[in-house]
């Protein structure tokens, strides 16, 4: 008789992430070291569990007009069809067309951190993205409609009491360009925004695992990134 339990497996994954974030917060005395350690926890979670067509890492994002985003803590991007623009000594620059989602990682969620994350997410969504016609055995398909880039915030705990409540909902109000689609407060719960822009807060279950599975579900709705016009980037070689 099997002793496996899906409930225990999913619970164990959450507890591992929660404990690692808690250790990073309580153990490291330097704020930068603390932040870097927490960032790695989230990146390693996504690198381990997202399907292999995706990858996650800290990166800058650039478009073919030579506009750069700010550095983003966690970028989920395509590793099947789009190349790096630059990758050297852990400094990654990826083309805007390859981006599926962007997240900031913080120790604790607050109105200030939400506003900061909204600004960072908007800096990626504003970038220009190319989309070429797609050749195939049956002919040429029209250029793919650009997918929505998901944005969010990942933290260990919350500055509010209750941790997820009206102050969080008030802070999440923003222009569409900076809207946060989903997020996780590992010690307390998750939040998510639906297609109509309505937010829901969940304070039950295992937040880290719930966030991971919801992200995967949303990535499934995005299908594949557009076919990048790599010559638009190559044109900068002669400038």
How many angstroms separate the CA atoms of 220 and 230, rounded?
25
CA 117 from chain centre, in angstroms, equals 11
Specify whether 73 is catalytic: yes
Which residues are within 8 A (CB) of 89 and not within 5 positions of it... i.e. 6 or more apart? none
Catalytic residue among 39, 63, 97, 104: 104
CA 51/CA 95 separation, integer angstroms: 20
pLDDT value, residue 1 = 53
Residue of 160, 141, 144, 143 lying closest to 203 (CA atoms):
160
Q: Which residues of the chain have pLDDT under 70?
A: 1-2, 29
d(CA 44, CA 57): 9
**H or E segment to which residue 77 belongs:** strand 72-78
Catalytic residue among 73, 78, 97, 157: 73
Q: Where are the alpha helices (DSSP H) in the chain?
A: 6-27, 31-49, 111-125, 166-172, 207-221, 230-234
Please state whether the peptide bond connecting residue 61 to the residue before it is cis, i.e. omega within 30 degrees of 0: no
Q: How many CA atoms lie within 13 A of 149 on its CB side?
A: 29
Distance CA 65, CA 68 (A): 9
Active site residue 113: no
CA atoms in the 13 A half-sphere facing the CB of 29: 0
Contact of 114 with 143, CB cutoff 8 Å: no
Would you state the pLDDT for residue 126?
Answer: 97
Q: Report the distance separating Cα 72 and Cα 59, nearest Å.
A: 6
For 70-105, what is each residue's pLDDT tens digit? 899 999 999 888 888 898 888 999 999 999 999 999
pTM: 0.93
Q: Which of 106, 113, 120, 181 is catalytic?
A: 106
């Amino acid at each position: 008789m099997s002793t496996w339990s899906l409930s225990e497996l999913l619970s164990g994954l959450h507890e591992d992430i929660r404990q690692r974030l808690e250790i990073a917060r309580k153990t490291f005395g330097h704020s930068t070291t603390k932040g870097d350690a927490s960032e790695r926890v989230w990146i390693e979670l996504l690198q381990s569990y997202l399907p292999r067509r995706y990858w996650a890492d800290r990166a800058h994002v650039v478009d073919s007009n030579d506009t750069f985003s700010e550095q983003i803590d966690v970028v989920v991007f395509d590793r099947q069809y789009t190349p790096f623009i630059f990758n050297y000594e852990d400094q990654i620059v990826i083309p805007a067309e390859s981006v599926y989602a962007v997240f900031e990682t913080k120790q604790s969620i607050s109105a200030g951190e939400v506003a900061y994350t909204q600004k960072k997410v908007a800096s990626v969504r504003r970038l220009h993205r190319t989309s070429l016609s797609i050749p195939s055995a049956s002919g040429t398909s029209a250029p793919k409609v650009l997918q929505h880039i998901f944005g969010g915030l990942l933290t260990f705990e919350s500055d509010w009491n209750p941790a997820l409540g009206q102050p969080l909902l008030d802070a999440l109000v923003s222009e569409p360009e900076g809207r946060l689609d989903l997020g996780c407060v590992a010690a307390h719960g998750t939040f998510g925004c639906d297609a109509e822009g309505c937010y829901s807060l969940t304070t039950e279950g295992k937040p880290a695992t719930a966030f991971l599975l919801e992200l995967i579900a949303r990535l499934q709705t995005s299908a594949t990134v557009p076919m990048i016009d790599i010559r638009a980037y190559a044109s900068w070689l002669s400038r």
